[in-house]
Amino acid sequence: MPALVAVMESFGSSVTESTDITTPDDPFSGPLKSVAPWNYTFLACLMFIVTSLSITENFTVMLVTLRFKQLRKPLNYIIVNLSVADFLVSMTGGTISFLTNARGYFFLGVWACVLEGFAVTFFGIVALWSLAILAFERYFVICRPLKNVRLGGKHAAMGLVFVWTFSFIWTIPPVLGWNSYTVSKIGTTCEPNWYSTDYYDHTYIITFFVTCFILPLGVIIISYSKLMQKLRKFRKCLIQMFKGNVGNLDSTNLNQTSDKGATAESHIGEMSTIAARVPMSIQTRNAQAAMHLCSSVGSLLLLLFISRSMESSDASTEEILPPTIQKLMKGYNKYLRPFFGNGPVTVGMSLDIASIDTISEINMDYTATIFLRQRWTDERLCFDGNKSLSLDGRLVELLWVPDTFIVDSKKSFLHDITVENRLIRIFPNGTVLYALRITTTVACSMDLTKYPMDRQTCMLQLESWGYNVKDVVFYWTRGNQSVSGLDNLQLAQYTLEDHYTSESEAVYETGNYPKLIFHFKLKRSILYFILETYVPSSALVVLSWVSFWISQSSVPARICIGVTTVLTMTTLMMGARTSLPNANCFIKAIDVYLGICFSFIFGALIEYAVAHFCTLHQPNAANAYMYGQEMQEREDEMNGIVTSIGSHALRARKREEMLSRMGSTNNPTPSESKEEINSSQPQTHCTKCMSTARQIVRCLNCCKVENPHYIDNYSRLTFPLSFIFINLLYWTYYLYF
């Protein structure tokens, strides 16, 4: 403990000495006279807004993760760690920066300066490395560089230990004597000593910049670039595989059933329905093989059993049915379709859409409740009279009904509260109306490339299970008007643009089967996403530009704004993907926009790094620039136009001297030219390399920035104009192409 006190006291003296060198005032006792008071007020207001937003958002993330157990996953460990680091940065650096800027100087003393500088640097590096670990985790999960190796909770814990340990290793040296934490030039925040001219301090700054900025930035850029390449590579492959698998699955299931139905119907009429029903419950090859083996003896026994059961059921039903129905049911065989042996039976269909409950992009399906109505004519059910008969829905078990099914249905059920929602109505001419109330979840292939400005076309396909087009023909009763109820639908994120019906045939190995298709086009409402994602992300981009108007000497303020906006943008990007598939290989429009915003925010942070780097290498140029600007303004006020004329004359004289100097260098003396000729004759490969190196160094010197303050001045104009131009291109492309 005494050693630590001695280190802190020696560090306090170094802080005071460095502050006295850079500024004439003591930043621990009062505001700097060289800084206008409104600058401190502006910084205090800005830090209050940024700190409040960051604390609220990150505390919400931590609270929600603790509240819901299903969120405690390895990936969320890293996200929570990111929120914790950002929360601590805001609590330490943001709060202290707000208080000191409100007072106008660092009134907390030397010890608080050391703790504040260490805490902000430490937690900021933890947050940056958490971003790098998060980017690598996404690359590892999607690209799978190690094939079957998967990341789990153990790997996430190891990553967190590495982040905190590595960050501590590279932020503690200034406390122990390798460099130091000092007050910034504005006098209200503390930071590593960037201003020292000592070589020993420069070694730490260079090492710190490489390990804690360049390295994590490289991991982020490489991981996301590899990820984008992987997504582009598998996009077409994924779509083709998805379509192929769906087609193979449908054809396999239907062919197995159709083979059974065709074979049984060729033997005897009653066995056609039985053979069509049996495969519905047989899903394995062993069961199918057993069915083939017992087809001879078992079929006979099964026919006897069915005939006896039919006789008993007919006897029981005749006792309770009214006379008209008893007359119709006498000799009626529900296992034979109408017009058996005399052509196909025509079945007309209509739909009433009661509701479309959910449309899921994650599962690529929709859930709808529909009223399915089917009409056909059965000449065996004709009776005298002019009124229809409305029967109890449970009597449908006595009649033949079409074997209609929903092709792409994942899960369906018939409503049965308070009774099964079925309707049977028989007309005098033998027409049968059969209505059902069904809730079904149907697959819908979605192209999310333009999400959330996308349009999706979903289908509801009705098909015959066992009867081909020679037995049953489907048709829409009123064409496009056969589907009703769409005008009353209220969808959460979509608007219904158009709908139409079509008739088709499903072609399989066993024949052609009738199919009816209902198409409906959906347009996603973008207003929700504008308020939820686009406006906040654009506001974060604009907020990152505020750093261009802050002095380059205020390193913690600008770094805090840059890192906070980057972290907030990352959280926003993760939240935008919660309603989408985790392994989604579509590059969506919202991903493109968030990537653009992230690039601009990160570019603002890089811009300050470049400007500050140039300031360290050209401090005299920056100081001379500021001093020259002040002197020029004073002389212009005192001398008016005369000063301008004198400055033009001075520039002309300097230009003449430079031209004469260049002429003397371009016209060497004869002795010099002779020496050059003599020396060039024995020129070796090494001398050529040296001359090439000199040319490269000369070119790099020409690219140096004359004054680092020009970088901020140019950025104030180029960043907003570039963002506006890219927004015009983005919205034009995704809205009109």
**Residue 226, pLDDT score:** 83
CATH number of the domain at 342-525, please? 2.70.170.10
**Residue 655, pLDDT score:** 56
In the chain, the percentage of residues whose pLDDT exceeds 90 is: 27
pLDDT at 519 exceeding the cut of 90? yes
Higher pLDDT, 251 or 623: 623
**Shared fold status for 342-525 and 526-637+700-737:** no
Q: What is the DSSP annotation of 65-117?
A: HHH-GGG-SHHHHHHHHHHHHHHHHIIIIIHHHHHHHHHTS-TT-HHHHHHHH
Higher pLDDT, 633 or 539: 539
Q: What is the DSSP annotation of 342-356?
A: SSPEEEEEEEEEEEE
pLDDT at 477 exceeding the cut of 80? yes
| Per-residue pLDDT tens digits for 610-632 | 888 887 766 555 454 454 445 54
Higher pLDDT, 134 or 531: 531
**Residue 718, pLDDT score:** 93
Higher pLDDT, 31 or 120: 120
| Per-residue pLDDT tens digits for 660-709 | 555 544 455 444 444 444 444 445 555 666 677 666 656 545 555 567 77
Higher pLDDT, 512 or 30: 512
User: How far lies 500's CA from each of 366, 486, 496, 497, in Å?
Assistant: 18, 11, 12, 11
Higher pLDDT, 487 or 254: 487
**Residue 146, pLDDT score:** 66
228 Cβ neighbours under 8 A, 6+ residues apart: 587
**Residue 327, pLDDT score:** 76
In the chain, the percentage of residues whose pLDDT exceeds 70 is: 69
Q: Where are the domains of the chain?
A: 1-236, 342-525, 526-637+700-737
| Per-residue pLDDT tens digits for 6-52 | 333 333 433 434 444 344 467 777 777 777 778 778 888 888 888 88
Residue found under tokens 């003393």: 109
Q: Read off the DSSP letter of residue 179.
A: S
532: burial class by Cβ within 10 Å (0-12, 13-18, 19+)?
Answer: middle
Residue 730: pLDDT band with limits 50, 70, 90: very high
pLDDT at 402 exceeding the cut of 90? yes
| Per-residue pLDDT tens digits for 46-86 | 888 888 888 888 888 888 877 777 676 766 778 888 888 88
CB < 8 Å & 24+ apart, contacts of 171-179:
171/118, 171/121, 171/122, 171/125, 171/212, 172/118, 173/204, 174/117, 174/118, 174/204, 175/7, 175/11, 175/114, 175/118, 176/7, 177/7, 177/10, 177/11, 178/204, 179/204, 179/205
CA 142 – CA 224 distance, rounded (Å): 11
**Residue 109, pLDDT score:** 79
**Residue 289, pLDDT score:** 34
CA 496 – CA 499 distance, rounded (Å): 8
**Residue 4, pLDDT score:** 34
Q: Indicate the average pLDDT of the chain.
A: 75
pLDDT at 387 exceeding the cut of 90? no
Higher pLDDT, 590 or 386: 590
518 DSSP β-pair partners = 460, 501
462 DSSP β-pair partners = 406, 516
| Per-residue pLDDT tens digits for 92-117 | 888 888 888 888 877 877 778 888 88
**Residue 656, pLDDT score:** 61
Q: Per-residue pLDDT averaged across 412-439, rounded?
A: 92
Among 54-68, 252-266, 592-606, the least confident range: 252-266
Residue 492: pLDDT band with limits 50, 70, 90: confident
pTM above 0.85, yes or no: no
Among 28-32, 79-83, 187-191, 213-217, the least confident range: 28-32
pLDDT at 717 exceeding the cut of 50? yes
Q: Which CATH class is domain 1-236?
A: mainly alpha
User: How far lies 449's CA from each of 528, 587, 590, in Å?
Assistant: 18, 6, 9
Q: Which CATH class is domain 526-637+700-737?
A: mainly alpha
Q: Read off the DSSP letter of residue 157.
A: H
349 DSSP β-pair partners = 374, 476
Token couple for 393: 């829905």
Angle at the Cα of 321 from the Cα atoms of 320 and 327, rounded to 5 degrees? 135
Residue 659: pLDDT band with limits 50, 70, 90: low
**Residue 82, pLDDT score:** 85
CA 43 – CA 87 distance, rounded (Å): 19
